[in-house]
Amino acid sequence: MEISERRQRWKKFNILTPEKLALAHIVLDEVREGSDVMRALRAHPLEDGEGYLTKAALVAAYNQMVEAGTLEADRILLDKIRMKPMRTLSGVTTVTVLTKAYPCPGKCIFCPTDVRMPKSYLPDEPGAMRALEHQFDPYEQVHARLRALENLGHPTDKIELLILGGTWSSYRRDYQEWFIKRCFDAMNELERGALREHADKFETAGVDISQAQTINETTSHRNVGLVIETRPDEINADELRWLRHLGVTKVQMGAQSFDDHILEINKRGHDVESTRKATALLRAAGFKIVLHWMPNLLGATPQSDRADFAKLWADFCPDEIKIYPNQLLANAELYEYWKRGEFHPYTTQELVDLIADIKPSIPRYCRVNRVIRDIPGNNVVEGNTRTSLRQDIQSEMKKRGTVCQCVRCREVRGKVVEAETLRLDDLTYQAGSAEEHFISFVTPDDGLAGFIRLSLPAKNSALTGMSDLDAAALIREVHVYGQSLAVGAEQTGAAQHLGLGTRLLEEAENVARKNGFSRMAVISAIGTRHYYLDRGFERGEYYLVKKI
């Protein structure tokens, strides 16, 4: 079935007729009284054998009835019927968009090539399918995703915008600025007809995103994080200034390996020192750092991968990682090496054993975002085809009696948090020339309720050339966990509404002052500027700054 046909069928099932609204009311009453959602839905089929109400239709009916006053708002009930609540249990709602197909400076032998897609992406990956359907138009992608998330019952007032699509820095800067402005336009909910005239004009020099950014500071869909992905050899001081102009707060980089020989034979195009320098520059500029690491590259073995992974924590110390096991794809150059018998993919069990071995070694300050690419198994020629590898690894670790202490594994998510039971913890570690403080509030059972990343640069830190950062302690991230709530909403015991963010800022200020700093700078996303301005920060050129 074609993508567009599936979309039309899904929309048909979710149109709210009077019959569906009546059924929804019955189902909601039963769920409120303790019935399982799916059991209640199946107990009330639609007429004429058309199946059952979907959870999306149930959420839409709930919203419609609350708005009409025929149903009392009930957050506990909404939590029960919401689809895929895990998507917003980290406190923000992520919206992923892809850039258009464009040449990449890399020549990596493991990277798939499809003329319809940006380098390294396949058209049947979930996010890529949505981008292709909307012809890579950034406004359409964001607009459609926001509507879909709302239909599933998720709040959409705090948006982390994740821009994927090969090497961001290789795209023309006028395209980059146009692309992000269109994303902001969608979040700002501007009149769509007025935006159409700009759709094909990114080639003209003069797209100014400052107005869209200013609107987003107070709009209903605020950008609380902006993420791009690029290569280590694309990072320099000029690039950092440009990224801050765009509003970027987090950078993903493909490190892939920390062995120069492995990088060379896989035609990665940069060495380990490039990754080290790029990481140091990003840290000095306050960016949150995500590194991609790839086991099973040409020339690697499970044992060499174990040793390679340990190098992550000796100097690079990323805030987040994505573990992307190399997958053998027919449209990658590596396929020819495999046909000649020069490359052998790891089996699923070998991957499970490898990652189960290394996962307990991940420091408490790092978050593991992924352990496998979301590539459908039909694209994989040989080797692992399971996209549920994380669950397989968790099962293996449970058998072994080992645990992972990374940020993702310790997030409190939807659990009730009692403020008086929280412990304040300051994990200090050296990352290059910077002294990092991962200051966190921890529950009695070691759950992570919130944290702040404070970076104290040494005098010999990498130079960014941005005056906002001169002699300043850097706040690189403030994050409080729990189900993402609408701005101003309250929920008893929700970590996001215990004032933890303000208390973390106060503690970071105390630590910076004790270490001889008289200024602080924070790399604020556009939609969080007022949060910091309300807490004593002032606008600088690219950062918000405060005297302490």
Angle ∠(47,153,161) on CA atoms, nearest 5: 135
Question: Which pTM was predicted?
Answer: 0.84
CA distance 483 to 449: 11
* DSSP characters over 495-523: GGGTTHHHHHHHHHHHHHHHTT--EEEE-
Q: E strands within 219-287?
A: 222-230, 250-256
pLDDT at residue 204, rounded to an integer: 39
Return the CATH number of 419-547, one of 3.30.450.80, 3.30.413.10, 1.10.1740.10, 3.40.630.30.
3.40.630.30
Are the C-beta atoms of 139 and 195 separated by less than 8 Å?
Answer: yes
- Angle of the 3-13 helix axis to the 126-133 helix axis, nearest 10: 90
Question: What is the per-residue pLDDT across 411-464, written as a single tens digit (0 to 9) for each?
Answer: 997 778 888 999 999 999 999 999 999 999 999 999 999 999 999 999 877 689
In which band, very low, low, confident or very high, does the pLDDT at 308 lie, cut at 50, 70 and 90? very high
Average pLDDT, stretch 13-18?
A: 65
**Residue 197 phi/psi, 5° resolution?**
-65, -20
Other beta carbons within 10 Å of 378: 7
Residue with tokens 């020069």: 342
Q: Which sequence spans correspond to the domains of the chain?
A: 3-83, 85-230, 262-410, 419-547
Taking 60 as the threshold, does the pLDDT of residue 200 lie above it?
no
Provide, rounded to the nearest whole percent, the portion of the chain with pLDDT above 90.
66
